[in-house]
Structure 1
Amino acid sequence: MSISELVKIPKPKILSSRNDPLHIIRTRKTTHNRPATIAGPMVRYSKLPFRQVCRDYDVDIVYTPMILAREFVRNNNARLADFSINEQDSPLIVQVGVNNVADLLKFVEMVAPYCDGVGINCGCPIKEQVREGIGCALIYNPECYVRWSQLSNKIMGTALRLETKIRIHEDYDQTVDLCRRLSDAGVDWISIHGRTRTTRSSQPVNLEAIKYIVEKIKDKNIPVIANGDCFKKCDLREIAEVTKVDGVMAVRGLLANPALFAGYETCPWGCVEKFWYYTLEFGGLPYQLLQHHLYCMLENMKLEKNLLKEMMDVKNTAALIDWFETNFIFKRFGEIGFGEGSTIPYRRK
């Protein structure tokens, strides 16, 4: 069966210098004197309200959560739960977890009109995903992986960008070989998480490995993004200086402090107010995710522990709004000073 028989991509968005992620990655060092800043994919947590908060604080490119292709292409409920956007949600990369080419091509067909690029997840180390041939399993199946990339690139052309996110092998030269083959297959840029499949997140990211890989594929002229252990803006500078990459991706760091790329050492109160606003404005965020996002931000701000515990005992959105109103000076959109505060504005009795 030919590619054209497998998939027919509807008219995609038109990429401009403003929303073309590849253009942004290639030019940020010249235009902003820094590498591109990227909010990486987090399973469940990279949904629209959080993405919008990140964009308000110097994030250039944002990813969706990893979306499982097999569910997305078959189940309308899965599509509604996993993927929502608006006109401001750009540039946007939709990340896909996939273990067969038919699902991949169908997935690309379905999301093409609503994003600026597709990223193939080859970095997820979760055992259940690896057993099914998803995530990290793919870096040990390069023939299949490279072929999928070739097919995806052929149907996407220049109308949609193709990215892939990988982890490193124990033997760095295996990763170098994979990156060179992916470049030849037409991948637009490669994101490298500086840990192996079995390296725990508590162990430091291996910047020297990323540096080695970048140096070895320099002749391919393909941008590389570094991922791992970016928790403060100073980490952005260090990662860029050591590895010489074109962009830096943060994940856990942004979950705790969406303003880290804007230079805030801890999460500013404005992030909390904006996150509340976008969540209520856009809708569709399960209560448990709302609560956990707020917990991560407020813990980063060193909210009093008794209040953190109280917040986690609140059972629904309406009650949580009341709890915020009781404990803090909680500004709404349109009020003077909304989204501008830095420290926690306790409402003391």
Structure 2
Amino acid sequence: MVRYSKLPFRELVRRYNCDIVYTPMILANVFSASNYARDSEFSTNLLDDPVVIQFAASNGVDLANAAELVSPYVSGIDINCGCPQKWAIQEKIGSHLMSDPETVRDMIRMTKARVNVPCSIKIRIHKDLRETEEFVKRALSVGVDFITVHGRTRRQKSTEPVNLEGMKLVKEVSTVPVIANGDVFSVADANQIVEATNVDGTMSARGILENPALFAGYDVTPWECVEDYVDLALSYGTNAFIFHHHLMFMLEKSMSNAERRTFNSLTTTPAVIDYLEEYYGLDIVRRRVERAEQKIKTFQL
């Protein structure tokens, strides 16, 4: 979720039955060294709870420094051991760490010595699942608080099915909660994975970008969810690139090819708003009234 789970989106998915939300992956060394990076990469408020901040790091010092700065404002620190992008592997972060369990072990140990919030890891599986078992045991030995497992190796494409046996093994080995990640595009997908692996929960990335109301049981993004996102994004001052791309993800399945080409070519926030008002009846004021009425009814009940 690099770039795409900033505060407005996190607040949106909380409205649609998400229990825990994560920040985008943030580079720990840059975060700890730069006020500008801290201001641009992380923002929160009282509604943003529980929130887990996810860091990418190549060593324990960088991670612990970043974790100590942010720990008063978050519910957990997560170490990304899963990003498969080439630049991340070259920087010895992300899924590179799946081949370096001792570094991960040191990062957990050093971070837990500096902060009083849970420390988790998000991992992938190995081609040889015995390596995954050993990796998990080393993390457990230094007190990792929970584990999220993406059921693919770092070299597998997202079009390949997740390895349920691999995720099940992580759960069987673990003495802490385990969350499964990968191929969660509906509540039915989540339930199937839980049934097959006995994990404690499921996470969605691609699926929830396409449909932020996924965990509320919607098969496609409901229009009111789109309006909610526009309202939140404008209120928080989301930049045009992120704003546009979130809406591209959300509307992809409801647009024709011609509509997608037109919408995807828009380059400014006003152009996006004008398009949605003209062709989809976007009405933020009406949506705000509806949400206020819903809150009143809930309070009365």
TM range (shorter): over 0.9
**Deviation string for 1:36-84 (max 9, x for gaps)?**
xxxxxx0011111111111111100000000001211222222222111
2:261 is the counterpart of 1:261: no
Say if 1:270 and 1:338, in contact at 8 Å, map to a contact too: no
Cα displacement (A) at 1:339: 10
2:298 is matched with which residue?
none
Q: Could you tell me how far apart the structure 2 residues matched to 1:333 and 1:274 are?
A: 11
Cα displacement (A) at 1:315: 2.4
Question: Unmatched 5+ residue regions in structure 1?
Answer: 1-41, 341-349
1:244 is matched with which residue?
198
Q: Could you tell me how far apart the structure 1 residues matched to 2:41 and 2:103 are?
A: 26
2:236 is the counterpart of 1:311: no
Cα displacement (A) at 1:166: 0.5
Matched residue SS, 1:64? strand
Tell me which of the two structures has the higher relative contact order, counting C-alpha pairs closer than 8 angstroms and 6 or more residues apart. Answer: 1
2:154 is the counterpart of 1:197: yes
1:99 is matched with which residue?
58
1:273 is matched with which residue?
227
Percent identity over paired residues: 42
User: What aligned pairs does 1:101-250 form with structure 2 within 5 A after superposition?
Assistant: 101-156=60-115, 159-215=116-172, 217=173, 220-250=174-204
2:49 is the counterpart of 1:79: no
Amino acid at match of 1:178: F
Amino acid at match of 2:22: Y
2:248 is the counterpart of 1:291: no
- Cα distance change, pair 258–213 in 1 and its aligned pair in 2 (3 A): same
Q: Paired residue for 1:65, among 2, 11, 24?
A: 24
Amino acid at match of 1:94: I
Q: Could you tell me how far apart the structure 1 residues matched to 2:97 and 2:233 are?
A: 35
Aligned residues: 292
Amino acid at match of 2:176: I
**Deviation string for 1:303-323 (max 9, x for gaps)?**
233222222222211222122
Amino acid at match of 2:248: Y
Q: Could you tell me how far apart the structure 2 residues matched to 1:88 and 1:232 are?
A: 25
2:296 is matched with which residue?
none
Amino acid at match of 1:315: T
Say if 1:153 and 1:162, in contact at 8 Å, map to a contact too: yes
Say if 2:60 and 2:108, in contact at 8 Å, map to a contact too: no
Q: Could you tell me how far apart the structure 2 residues matched to 1:260 and 1:106 are?
A: 35
Q: Could you tell me how far apart the structure 2 residues matched to 1:246 and 1:82 are?
A: 29
- Comparing 78-87 with 199-208, greater Cα deviation is found at 78-87
Which structure carries more helix by proportion? 2
Q: Could you tell me how far apart the structure 2 residues matched to 1:268 and 1:330 are?
A: 13
- Comparing 172-181 with 52-61, greater Cα deviation is found at 172-181
Cα displacement (A) at 1:147: 1.6
Runs of 4+ aligned structure 1 residues displaced above 6 Å come to none
Say if 2:170 and 2:178, in contact at 8 Å, map to a contact too: no
**Deviation string for 1:222-252 (max 9, x for gaps)?**
1111110000110011000000000101000
